[in-house]
Amino acid sequence: MYCPKCGEENKGNPTYCKKCGTKLKNKEIINEPPKTDDNNKNKIIIIGLVAVIVILIVGMLFVGGVFKSETPQANASNSKNTSPSSSVDVPQSSSSEPSPAPSSTPSSISILGGSFSTGSGDADKTYARINVGTGHAGENVIVQIYYSRDGKSLNNGNMVPATVHSDGYLEIASADAYSLYPDHATINIYDSNSKLLTSRSVSLRAASGTQTF
């Protein structure tokens, strides 16, 4: 016999339940234990455990980034674009760029003065010293000098490569000796690409010796 209240099995035909003391009315014989709240409690416990397991799994997925929302990234991007620092251009350093090497050919030059010298012999050439300044020392140029007498050319004006000396002078000798002393000279100075940089006309005495200008 089973107690209708606690489900305790009571062997024989007792009047009261040996466990809870409930009176067994009419000495009913119960062949099966009655259903109690224990089954309901077990169901509740099982459901609770399942719920806890599900919560843990979902939490782990969130931590792993499976359900990571991209909204914060978009907000971060927007806030970054509106940040004052995003509109500041950072100048790039040019210290790593090599500075251009100084050219040995001047971009500009001027004839400051000089002299012409002619010997008295028939085989003597005419020599020119042209001052362009010590600031052009070491620079490479091309010099052309036309000599004339009474308006007639004495030479063809050869173009002669030359380098400015440390004292700032160019020294150019005529290709030939002239039968007449020149009374005029035109000096042209070009760069290495034959671009005219400067020019000067000089009047001379038709005589031997050194004449400055």
Which helix H or strand E contains 190, and what residues bound it? strand 184-190
- Which one-letter DSSP state was computed for residue 66? T
pLDDT in tens, 38-68: 667 778 888 888 888 988 888 888 777 655 5
**Tens digits of residue pLDDT in 117-137:** 999 988 999 999 999 999 999
| Average pLDDT over all residues of the chain | 80
Helix (H) or strand (E) holding 184, with range, is strand 184-190
- What is the rounded average pLDDT of the residues 183-192? 96
What is the pLDDT, as a whole number, of residue 86? 45
Q: Provide the token pair at 123.
A: 């085989």
Q: What is the per-residue pLDDT for 99?
A: 47
Backbone angles phi, psi at 60, to 5 degrees: -65, -35
pLDDT at 34: 56
Strands (E), 10-166: 113-118, 125-131, 140-149, 152-153, 159-163
What are the backbone dihedrals phi and psi of residue 210, each rounded to the nearest 5 degrees, phi first? -110, 130
* pLDDT, position 38: 65
Tell me the pTM: 0.51
**Whether pLDDT at 140 is above 80:** yes
pLDDT of residue 56: 87
97-115 pLDDT, tens digit per residue, is 554 444 566 778 999 999 9
Higher pLDDT, 150 or 57: 150
Distance CA 76, CA 64 (A): 20
Is the per-residue pLDDT at 189 higher than 90?
yes
Q: What is the pLDDT of residue 95?
A: 47
Is the pLDDT assigned to residue 196 strictly greater than 50? Answer: yes
DSSP 159-183: EEEEE--TTSEEEEEEEEE-SS--S
Domain ranges of the chain: 1-38, 113-212
pLDDT for 101: 46
Half-sphere exposure of 201 (CA within 13 A, CB side): 5
Which pLDDT value is given to residue 150?
96
Mean pLDDT of the region 82-93: 47
**What number is the average pLDDT over the span 75-97?**
46
Q: Rounded distance, CA 171 to CA 7, Å?
A: 134
More confident call, 82 vs 159: 159
Residue 158: count of CB within 10 angstroms of its CB? 13
Instruction: Let me know if domain 113-212 sits in CATH 2.60.40.10.
Output: yes
User: How many CB atoms are closer than 10 A to CB 160?
Assistant: 15
CA distance 141 to 111: 13
Dist. CA 171–CA 163, nearest whole Å: 9
pLDDT for 175 beyond 50: yes
The pLDDT-based confidence of 93 (bands split at 50, 70, 90) is: very low
